Structure 1
Amino acid sequence: MQRQAQYWFPAKRYGWGWGLPITWQGWAILVAFILLIAIGAAMILKHSLAEFIAYVAVLTALFAGVCWWKGEPPRWRWGDE
């Protein structure tokens, strides 16, 4: 019997992408992402806006990668199953 993979991030009901996490691991990743942005804002933003934008872009790419890896396969959804 094959065990179904547990997704951390469910697909959005409408549109493309993922919704809020459904597991503690997903919530931990989301909270870490938000905290790292806040820490970066406090430390980097006072020095350089360009560095902060690059920092947020890297964090966002990493977060999107985790969503792609541990989330439902993305596709356009119109609300019906």
Structure 2
Amino acid sequence: MSVRDYRDALKVREGYWFAPKLFGWGAVPVTWQGWLSTIAFAVAFALVINWAPTRFVRIGLAVPMLVVFMWLVWTKTDGGFRWRWGPDRDRD
């Protein structure tokens, strides 16, 4: 697989922020909106985990944050979530 093939496999249509991972299950950010939302989630999650006063509060805040972020990634991924063994050959 060349660098060009890898780059082309991570292109997304307009309106999508994430591309499916080439190997495995999940998605990766490929636009500035995807990167911004990922960084904002990571910072907010770290703040909640480090500064929430009790374990109960940490879990009560962290789990909904994670669910909302996963929903966002799922809805903004061009190609959906499924297990992959490399780039799709039929993708335009």
TM-score, normalised to structure 1, is 0.79
Q: What residue number does 2:75 align with?
A: 69
Q: What residue number does 1:30 align with?
A: 38
Q: Amino acid of the residue matched to residue 65 of structure 1?
A: W
More strand by share: 2
TM-score, normalised to structure 2, is 0.71
Percentage of pairs with the same residue: 33
Q: What residue number does 1:8 align with?
A: 17
Q: Amino acid of the residue matched to residue 28 of structure 1?
A: L
| Secondary structure at the counterpart of residue 10 of structure 1 | strand
Q: What residue number does 2:86 align with?
A: 79
Question: Hey, what's the Cα distance between the residues in 1 that align with 2:16 and 2:45?
Answer: 24
The structure 1 segments of at least 4 consecutive aligned residues displaced by more than 3 Å after TM superposition are none
Shift of 1:80: 4.3
Deviations 1:6-52 (A, max 9, x none): 42111011111112x111111110111011112213431xx211220
- Asked if 1 retains the 8 angstrom alpha-carbon contact of 2:18 and 2:27, the reply is yes
Q: Which runs of 5+ in 2 are unaligned?
A: 1-12
Q: What residue number does 1:58 align with?
A: 64
Aligned-residue RMSD, C-alpha: 1.5
Equivalenced residue count is 75
Q: Say whether 1:49 aligns with 2:49.
A: no
